[in-house]
Amino acid sequence: MKHEGKVAVVTGAAQGIGLACARRLAEEGALVVMGDIQGEKVAGEATALGAVAMTMDVSRRDDVDALIGCAVDTHGRLDIMVNNAGVGFSAGVLEVGEEDFDRILGVNLKGALFGSQGAARVMVEQASGGAIVNMTSVQAELAIPNSVAYGVSKAGINQLTRIFSVALASHNVRCNAVGPGTILTDMARGAVLSSDEAYRMILSRTPLGRLGGADEVASVVSFLASDDASYVTGQVIYPDGGRMPVNYTVPVDALPAID
């Protein structure tokens, strides 16, 4: 098994992509420590996996440090850090408020920063390398008009990933990111499957013609965390069904006249 004996921390692990990542890493031999703000739910999922769970909020540095400390205290080391926790929010550029903007960046971007810093300190001190995987999104690159806070937070994660990869390369600590397209999670169901129109719009710019599964994202995370990716760092991989090469569509109310 590719992660036999390795210690992995996964944030946002109570459901969706985070839970899929925790399951995949555990199935491949890792000793997994799961963190989530949904304490009761993550504890139940961890019990099923034989993992350790902790209630925590990634927007709080002390909570992130405590989660990483839990992994080290329990298993003696840290080899894999998956900064997955994130929240979404939709509002037009003229409507988004400061409080919501701060909340999204606090969870998505600061959470990735705190997790990367805390994990890197342990990995550097161990002097045996490690892998950090951040969860970004296609929205880091695609400009979606009603998603300014989320898009900015994910674009920040891409750059954070690149900077950490360069800064930590001499310590053999690799840092990469995974940017899913539309994945069939509870969060996506509420937005994408709210109407046939919304579902059709997503599929119209997804060349593979279907939504992705959380396990398909977890497989990419597992690869980047493994020794199979030992020469890969500073990269963002997009499991998105082919969306990135397709231009984003905009509504056309009326066709302009052509002289």
Alpha carbon distance 93, 147 (integer Å) = 8
- Tokens 């342990």 found at: 122
User: Which of helix, strand or coil describes residue 8?
Assistant: strand
199 is catalytic: no
Alpha carbon distance 213, 181 (integer Å) = 10
Q: What is the DSSP letter of 228?
A: G
Retrieve residue 244's tokens.
């990135």
Retrieve residue 3's tokens.
């992660």
Alpha carbon distance 125, 168 (integer Å) = 12
Retrieve residue 243's tokens.
């969306």
Beta bridge partners of 82: 10, 133
Closest CA to 12 of 88, 90, 79: 88
Catalytic positions: 150
